[in-house]
Amino acid sequence: MDTSRWYRSFAEVEARGNSEVYEEWGNGVSEDPAVLALINRLPEPRRQPNLIFGASRHLGAPVAPYASFRRWLRENWSAVEQLARIRTTQTNEAGRAAVLLPVLGLLKGPLSLIEVGASAGLCLYPDRYSFLYDGTKYLHPVDGPSTVLLECATTGSPPIPERVPDVVYRAGIDLNPLDVGDTDDMRWLESLVWPEQDHRRQRLRDAAALARVDPPHLVRGDLTAAVADLVRRAPQNTTVVVYHSAVLNYLTLTAREEFAETVRALPCHWIANEGLGVLPEVDAQLTASPEARRGKFVVSLDGTPRGLAGGHGQFLDWLDQTRTARAG
């Protein structure tokens, strides 16, 4: 994608309504030939707005109007470029568990969870978090309210379960797994949280603290190559679920197709939470208008779309409440 259009789209579709700072920065970069020339020195996957802005803030960029950020970025570009070449946007948003929970609730337990693109593994704990849907319906772990509360607004009557799932096995895959016990890894994850979103920053800290008590089993490797082994290692007589959020967009279309073919052939269910355009076969089944889909993720189960979601789990628009039979 043309870098200028990429940053303009980021500002108008992703940042608008979520971060005034990033909306201004995205628009500013899109119209700034000097800054675009710097960013274009990076390989295309490394030019993404979240990575450049996150790396800048990790290195001390001021949360300030674009003119101040521009000046800082040009003065510190060498360090930003170096960090952008070694780090990735592994945004580990625990809030996404809130849009996955209704789909998990359709499956018979006990569950074995395998997350691809797991980052630090914070989405592997849906049984350890508390949830609040539409400001009225609470779900808590079996041992009582969690230190992590995930809030989600819904439309379309999603099948919110009566209890959190029974998870007996959890594992994750990532090209570069992050360690919840490593201070710099956690600082990097905080740098990826958008400037104004203090609630997400605190949620990240709380979720990481919870995970440190029982760290997830994370495997370093290519998601397509490694997923079959983790599925085979899952305990017998459990329902195995492979899932991912905002991961496949970093793969080529061919690699996405290879992953989908691989996971469909495994004895597991497959939950995807990805942006529009990432899984064309899933998107083709949507009946919602293009405007209704704009800027949303598609939540699907075994290749069938079930909902449209906020990128950070803040809302879930359930698409077809007639198909809520347990998937087995």
Residues of the chain with pLDDT below 70 are 320-328
Enclosing H/E stretch for 138:
strand 137-139
End-to-end CA distance of the chain: 41
**Domains of the chain and CATH, by start:** 3-86 (no CATH), 94-318 (3.40.50)
State pTM to two decimals: 0.88
Give me the helix-helix angle, 20-30 and 66-75, nearest 10°. 60
Q: What is the pLDDT, as a whole number, of residue 320?
A: 65
What is the tens place of the pLDDT at every residue in 254-288? 999 999 999 999 999 999 999 999 999 999 999 88
Q: What is the pLDDT, as a whole number, of residue 292?
A: 81
Q: What is the pLDDT, as a whole number, of residue 327?
A: 46
- β-strand partners of 322: none
CA dihedral over 228, 229, 235, 236, signed as positive or negative: positive
The residues, any chain, with a CB within 8 Å of residue 208's CB and separated by 6 or more, are 120, 122, 180, 186, 189
What is the tens place of the pLDDT at every residue in 216-258? 999 999 999 999 999 999 999 999 999 999 999 889 999 999 9
Q: What is the pLDDT, as a whole number, of residue 89?
A: 87
Q: What is the pLDDT, as a whole number, of residue 323?
A: 43
